[in-house]
Amino acid sequence: MQQQAVLSGHGLVKYYGPVVGLAGVDVAVRSGEALAVMGPSGNGKTTLLHVLAGILTPDQGEVWLAGERVDQLNDAARTVLRRRRLGFVFQDNQLLAELPADENVALPLMVDGVSRRDAIGRARMMLAQVGLAAEAARRPGELSGGQAQRVAIARALVGEPQAVFADEPTGALDAATGAQVIDLLVGAATHRGAAVVVVTHDNAVAARCNRVLQIVDGRVSSR
Amino acid sequence: MSPMTDLGLRFVRRPGPGGRAANLAALGATAVVALLLTFLVAGSLGLVHRSDRIGWRGADKADPASAIGAIGQTEETVDGRQVLRIDLATMRPNQLPPPPGLDHTPKPGEVFVSPELAKHWPGPKPTGVISDKGLSSPEELVVIRGVARVDDPQYVSSWRDSVMDSRMVGLLIAVAFGITLVLFPILSLVGQAAGVAAKRREHRLAALRLAGATRTQVLWLSAVEQAVVGLAGAVVGLVGYTVLSPLIARIPLGGGRWYVHDITVSWWLVLVVLVAVPILSVISALIGLGRVSITPLGVVRGQTRKATSALRLGLLVIGPVVLGIYGMKAAVIPLMIGVGMAALAVRVVGPWAVQLIGKTMAGLANGPVALLAGRRLADDPKGAFRPVAALVLSGFVTGFISVFMPNGQGQDEATFHDLRIGVALLLSLVFLTVAASTAAGAVGTALDQAAPARALRRSGVPLQVIERSARVAAVVPVIGVGLPVVGFGALCGLALSGGKIVTQGNSGVLLLIGQVVAGLVLVAVAGAAGAPVLRKASAN
């Protein structure tokens, strides 16, 4: 399966002490495909996202990204992998309040050794693509919730990731703004050939993805 | 109990995520403030107690007709040690109590010695030993000899005279200067201690405001929380001071070590500390929370703060001018005003300079560490300067004092000794303040940065990048502002001395180098207090 899918997990099991987070999940996402992960709260959606993204390591099972076994990498290697090959969008954007939008987007590139000039240049291009060219010098506190989330999307995509993970990316937005944001995220990421995994409670968000995975009690209940 | 008081106490008991670390940091910093305040007041009172016991020895040039005794003082050497000999001829031995520390008034030929001198007394057994009621220090080497008459006498009108000798007067003036110079660092620390806990509350209180709580209710709730933390800190500080008293008593200032009872806190000082420290910390917290209670949305959304004005630079002129006008001959009060104004100028100009440095640094940065640190400094220069304000002000103190460091040769050795110990003590106090302030600031910053740091770590940004930027943001104000301030301190010292450098030898240079090195090491070490908090708070 890993030959076709850019991102996959096989037999994923994760425990939190005696509590079962994941109880044997299989999942695969192809390049340019968006997968919505749904299910009741506390049933393993975010755990699955964290395991696939290399933030958590599974107790059993395997995670593959573009032919590379992720779960066996050490912490430093997984950190580099997340920085260079993955992108993240969080519910409350988690931008750095001190930095203007362009520097927030440029930061992951600069951490990776790209010069400031090049990083800012690429960040501004990315901001233009998400419709925020005029807001590049503004700080997160001076942007609307939807604009701040678009900055977060620009930050997630600026490194040309192979997979993008979004945890309730529209959870803090109204329905109309949320729809714009998810369209932008899925459209921009899949257009670049990235696999997208979106954890959501929102059926409208799920409807904009190619497939939906239902997780209940740490297991896949329907695909 | 009002609902807000109840809620405030509940928040102290259950402070929420990160709240416990913030409260502990605030409590620790407040305890240091209480300890320092107690030390300064109890130490000053100790000097007075010490002086009162031996005040009669200074004589008061009383009218011989009404005098109760005549004395003559001589320095002599006994068993290789410098000893003070006091010849005492009492005028009305049967009508008055004996001098302090003696069990009876010495008759001609009787000799009383201090306990330390008794160990080395070479002559026949002395008549008696002077008790601590008649000595300035347990190490004092003094002999009181009863004589029939004194050559070239000075007359005493009372055993309880409070005439201070010149050394004590010098020490008290030095203490007054010292208090003026460490006042701002201590007040900064109070603000820092209150600020750490207050920052944790900002969002909670802003949410309460958004939910309909009035400005007064929000401020009252904060006051209750901060008062509890301040009171706990005051108790810890007082206990700490009491535990450390035997060690403090070993500081050989003003004529030797101290009797512990000289520096023991009285009940009223305990009361003052228990009331003053919580009040100070409540006031600091409320000032810090003004923003929340007035514009709750502003804090929740993290809008740009107003830039600090360059007009602050004008303050730098006042201190040197006042000191230059009054010079060395001035009374103590104008000099203290001059030094105080200069220290205030440093406190006010510091954040402006930090903002300038931050903007420049962020503008020139080519890597993430310098960019993050620069933006952090430019975004909140007051917050960035507060933890290091004490250290920067200590640079001012050092620069100031470095102009007045004699080398002890050809000058009064006792004065030189006191000055040297006093400078060491003063810098120790400031460094203690700085350590507490920096550590509290580092914990506060770590808690502030926890959520975005967690997001950055998940996105593959190494924790080291975030930690290094925090360290750089802590050290840069010390170097960028602290070093020029050392020069400003020296300028104020020169203004006071009329351009004359009193310092001889290399003691001033050694003092300056020691200050800079110790300060940087201190900030680096104390700043590390934030690392485990950041690591834990930003963990996956």
Going residue by residue through chain B, which has 540 residues, state the pLDDT in tens, using 9 for 90 and above.
676 777 777 777 776 666 777 778 778 888 888 898 898 889 888 888 888 888 777 766 667 777 778 888 888 887 777 888 988 888 776 667 888 888 888 888 899 999 988 888 887 888 989 998 889 889 888 999 988 888 887 888 777 765 666 667 777 777 776 776 666 667 777 776 666 666 666 666 766 766 666 777 777 888 888 889 889 999 999 999 999 999 999 988 777 889 999 999 999 999 999 999 999 888 877 776 665 554 444 444 445 556 666 666 777 777 777 777 776 665 666 667 777 777 777 778 888 899 999 999 999 998 999 999 999 888 888 878 877 777 777 777 777 777 776 655 555 666 677 777 777 777 777 777 777 777 877 787 777 777 778 878 887 888 888 888 888 888 888 888 888 888 888 888 787 777 777 666 666 677 777 777 877 787 778 777 778 888 887 775
Q: What is the pLDDT of residue A3?
A: 41
Q: Which of B304, B461, B540 has its CB closest to that of A50?
A: B540
Q: For residue B511, what are the contacts with CB-CB under 8 A and spacing of at least 6?
A: B398, B401, B402, B405, B423
CB contact under 8 A, B461 and A83: yes
| 3-state SS assignment for residue B426 | helix
- Judged by a CB distance cut-off of 8 A, whether residue A50 touches chain B is yes
Q: How many inter-chain contacts (A to B, CB under 8 Å) are there?
A: 86
B451 — alpha (psi -120 to 50), left (phi > 0) or beta?
A: alpha
CB contact under 8 A, A82 and B459: yes
* Residues of chain B with C-beta less than 8 angstroms from the C-beta of A99: 371-372, 375
In the numeric block, which tokens belong to residue A70?
Answer: 């992720």
CB contact under 8 A, B460 and A80: yes
- From A136's Cα to the closest Cα of chain B, the distance in A is 15
Between CA B56 and CA B171 the distance in angstroms is 18
Q: Would you give the DSSP letter of residue A173?
A: S
- The 10 Å CB-count burial string (b at 16+, else e) for B6-40 is ebbeebbeebeebbebbbbbbbbbbbbbbbbbbbb
Candidates B473, B484, B472, B480; CA nearest to B377 is B473
CB contact under 8 A, B461 and A111: yes
CB contact under 8 A, A90 and B372: no
Residues of chain A with pLDDT under 70: 1-4, 93, 222-223
Between CA A168 and CA B241 the distance in angstroms is 53
In the numeric block, which tokens belong to residue A22?
Answer: 């994941």
What are the counts of helices (DSSP H) followed by strands (DSSP E) for chain B? 18, 6
| 3-state SS assignment for residue B77 | strand
- From B301's Cα to the closest Cα of chain A, the distance in A is 5
Cα-flanking dihedrals φ and ψ of residue A87, to 5°?
A: -130, 155
- The 10 Å CB-count burial string (b at 16+, else e) for B487-501 is ebbbbbbbbbbeeee
Cα-flanking dihedrals φ and ψ of residue A114, to 5°?
A: -70, 140
CB contact under 8 A, A139 and B304: yes
In the numeric block, which tokens belong to residue B286?
Answer: 């409320």
| 3-state SS assignment for residue B447 | helix
Return the bridge partners of A27, or none. Answer: A9
Nearest-5° angle of CA B51, CA B432, CA B469?
Answer: 160
Between CA B263 and CA A151 the distance in angstroms is 61
- From B263's Cα to the closest Cα of chain A, the distance in A is 48
CB contact under 8 A, B462 and A111: yes
CB B96 within 8 A of CB B129: no
CATH code for A5-222? 3.40.50.300
- Judged by a CB distance cut-off of 8 A, whether residue A172 touches chain B is no
* Residues of chain A with C-beta less than 8 angstroms from the C-beta of B301: 141
* Residues of chain B with C-beta less than 8 angstroms from the C-beta of A70: none
Sheet holding A211-216, edge to edge: A86-89, A163-167, A195-199, A34-38, A211-216, A219-222
| 3-state SS assignment for residue B479 | helix
- Judged by a CB distance cut-off of 8 A, whether residue A140 touches chain B is yes
Between CA B67 and CA B444 the distance in angstroms is 64
Domain ranges of chain A: 5-222
Model ipTM over 0.90:
no
Between CA A188 and CA B268 the distance in angstroms is 71
CB contact under 8 A, A86 and B462: no
- From A169's Cα to the closest Cα of chain B, the distance in A is 13
Between CA B438 and CA B391 the distance in angstroms is 9
Angle between helix A145-157 and A175-191 (nearest 10): 10
CB contact under 8 A, A111 and B465: yes
CB A19 within 8 A of CB A194: no
Domain ranges of chain B: 1-59+176-303, 62-156, 310-540
Classify strands A195-199 and A211-216 as parallel, antiparallel or unpaired. Answer: unpaired
Q: Would you give the DSSP letter of residue B133?
A: G
Interface of A with B in 176-215 (CB under 8 A): none
CB contact under 8 A, A90 and B455: yes
* Residues of chain B with C-beta less than 8 angstroms from the C-beta of A97: 302, 379, 452
Q: For residue B525, what are the contacts with CB-CB under 8 A and spacing of at least 6?
A: B435
Q: What is the pLDDT of residue B62?
A: 67
Between CA B487 and CA B290 the distance in angstroms is 35
Q: For residue B243, what are the contacts with CB-CB under 8 A and spacing of at least 6?
A: none
Candidates A75, A26, A79, A22; CA nearest to A45 is A22
Instruction: Look up tokens 């006010």; give the residue.
Output: B348
Between CA B96 and CA B78 the distance in angstroms is 31
Q: Which of B368, B376, B378 has its CB closest to that of A111?
A: B368
In the numeric block, which tokens belong to residue B397?
Answer: 């103190």
Cα-flanking dihedrals φ and ψ of residue B2, to 5°?
A: -70, 155
C-alpha pair distances (Å), B469 with each of B188, B363, B472, B497, B535: 23, 15, 5, 42, 14
- From B364's Cα to the closest Cα of chain A, the distance in A is 9
CB contact under 8 A, A107 and B371: yes
B76 — alpha (psi -120 to 50), left (phi > 0) or beta?
A: beta
Nearest-5° angle of CA B309, CA B297, CA B20?
Answer: 95
- From A105's Cα to the closest Cα of chain B, the distance in A is 12
- Judged by a CB distance cut-off of 8 A, whether residue A87 touches chain B is yes
Nearest-5° angle of CA B520, CA B521, CA B526?
Answer: 100
Element (H or E) spanning A15, and its range?
strand A5-16
- Judged by a CB distance cut-off of 8 A, whether residue A115 touches chain B is yes
CB B200 within 8 A of CB B26: no
Q: What is the pLDDT of residue A25?
A: 92
* Residues of chain B with C-beta less than 8 angstroms from the C-beta of A95: 452
Between CA A80 and CA A65 the distance in angstroms is 13
Element (H or E) spanning B252, and its range?
none
CB contact under 8 A, B371 and A55: no
Handedness of CA B271, B277, B280, B285 (dihedral sign): negative
- Judged by a CB distance cut-off of 8 A, whether residue A111 touches chain B is yes
